[in-house]
Amino acid sequence: MSGHAEVMARRGEIVRKSIGLDYARYVTGVLAFDYEGLLADTGYDVETVRALQARSAVGSTPLVELRNLTELVRSIAPAGRGARIFVKDEAANPSGSFKDRRASVSVHEARERGFDGVVAATSGNYGAAVASQAAKAGLGCIVVQEAFDSRGVAQPEIAEKTRACEAYGAEVIRLSVGPELFSVFLRVLEETGWFNASLYTPYSILGIETLGHELALQTRAATGAFPDVVVVTHAGGGNLTGTARGLRAAGAAEARVVAASVDLTGLHMASDRDFNRKSFTTGHTGFSIPFTTWPDRADVPRNAARALRYMDRFVTVTQGEVFYATQALAELEGLERGPAGNTSLAAAFALAQELPRDRTLVVQETEYTGAGKHPLAQLDLARRLGVGIERGDPRRSRPGESIVIPERPEQITVREVELDGLRRSYVANALASLDPETDLAEEDLDFLAAETRTRPDWVREAIDGIHAARG
């Protein structure tokens, strides 16, 4: 069996064979590539994807108005404020999350190309979604999962997802936290010759476009207008990218897209010590910040999730605020749902207080819950690791050290993530990927402007500032 370095040296060829996309065709500069061409050449559009998802029972999930939560918001908001809150109930998908949408297209593509099976690397819901869709399509499935720390301790949420993958007939390769995840994933692809159902291929992103498209049309049918604000739980960027593209395809380009993540500042995602000291396996800053500022850290040559292209605002909430929102959703709306969607729900609770009452805010997803996903399971693990649990002002929370659950709904707030800072970090990471003597052409500057939703002159100024800071 090949070692880590040998497998990584063959990465490009392994990925090319396992996806069937020649990424080199889309390179147009030293940084630039034809992003829209990469997506378009798959042959899938929203209507095509909707049709294939309907055949596998994916999508067409309900849009639910959260009337009781809206009334709670209005009871504490300034006079005349408190937008109507809706939620897209993605727990109605076959494996219980929006990730069935992205898995459906990858599995369909794998079957169309004659692959015998699919492989996915994930710690979360995506593995269950791929396993579910593969089972329906009659394909094999292997999920490579970063599951536990060096002591063999697994987060209950991750263990819950292992169980779900196996329930759908997938083989799960469970690994401890560390760099071997990607090399094992590549080795499995090479040895099986199966399809790479990566989270970051065009197929995955195109599968999510139907979510934004449905959401826009359902909101218009319910209210007479497209949503004013759509709040998206943000991790690797695919959720936000696909939803925003779907909104645009439906004609809802004016809807503001707000990214929301759990603030886990100070915890390192590759740290054995920190791995279990976070109560959320996705939708947190440990993924959202790195992938926003350099999306091509993914397991494919070019990531089709490009979050900075699509976000209008980026906010964070604390772990305790998400736990509070989870319980509020259950007790006020009779919906017990899992943690990821409740991240955007917690943010929505605060954001709705900023908007007039005649505006509409949509929480873009829910996910299923289970024994391992329940807040009590997460809080029990945190206590066993010495993390303090208390009630009070959530702003006193310290990731990995304490979780403070609000005592009152008005204690739920959002913290802003400054977008220009993320944009400059993106440009700095792009420059760092090149030889220092490399000259950027106009197509590269135009590409960076599109990536950061700015202008070429802003990019030039950012580059000059980065060079000056580096001396």
Report strand pairing: 415-416 vs 313-317: antiparallel
Residue 178 and residue 272 in contact, taking contact as beta carbons nearer than 8 Å: yes
Structure confidence by residue, pLDDT tens digits, 269-283: 788 889 899 988 889
CATH topology of domain 60-93+203-416: Rossmann fold (3.40.50)
User: pLDDT at position 242, please?
Assistant: 98
Q: Report the Cα 248 to chain-centroid distance in Å.
A: 19
Buried b (16+ CB within 10 A) or exposed e, 113-150: eebebbbbbbbbbbbbbbbbbbbbbebbbbbbbbbbbe
User: pLDDT at position 452, please?
Assistant: 98
Structure confidence by residue, pLDDT tens digits, 382-422: 999 999 999 999 999 999 999 999 999 999 999 999 999 99
Is domain 4-51+97-200 classified as CATH 3.30.465.10?
A: no
User: pLDDT at position 118, please?
Assistant: 98
- Residue length of the chain: 471
* Fold agreement (4-51+97-200, 60-93+203-416): yes
User: pLDDT at position 5, please?
Assistant: 79
Buried b (16+ CB within 10 A) or exposed e, 174-205: bbbbeeebbbbbbbbbbebebbbbbbbbbbbb
Q: Find tokens 């399509």 and name the residue.
A: 137
In this structure, the dihedral spanned by the alpha carbons of residues 75, 78, 81 and 86, taken in order and rounded to 10 degrees, is: -40
Q: What is the rounded CA–CA span in Å between residue 285 and residue 287?
A: 5
**What stretches of 82-178 show up as alpha helix (H) in DSSP?**
99-112, 125-137, 156-167
Burial of 325 (0-12, 13-18, 19+ CB in 10 A): buried
Q: What are phi and psi of 63, to 5 degrees?
A: -100, 120
Structure tokens at 118: 């699919």
In the three-class reduction of DSSP (H, G, I as helix; E, B as strand; rest coil), residue 92 is classed as helix
Nearest to 384, CA basis, from 215, 155, 117 = 155
Nearest to 283, CA basis, from 242, 258, 316, 244 = 316
Residue 374 and residue 105 in contact, taking contact as beta carbons nearer than 8 Å: no
What averages of pLDDT result for each successive group of 10 residues across the chain (471 residues)?
76 89 94 97 97 97 98 98 98 97 98 97 90 98 93 90 95 88 90 96 97 98 98 97 98 98 91 89 94 93 96 98 98 95 97 98 96 91 96 96 97 98 98 93 97 97 92 71
Residue 186 and residue 10 in contact, taking contact as beta carbons nearer than 8 Å: yes
| Domain positions in the chain | 4-51+97-200, 60-93+203-416, 425-470
Q: What is the rounded CA–CA span in Å between residue 257 and residue 343?
A: 15
Burial of 396 (0-12, 13-18, 19+ CB in 10 A): exposed
Residue 355 and residue 82 in contact, taking contact as beta carbons nearer than 8 Å: yes
User: pLDDT at position 2, please?
Assistant: 63
Q: What is the rounded CA–CA span in Å between residue 258 and residue 230?
A: 6
User: pLDDT at position 389, please?
Assistant: 97
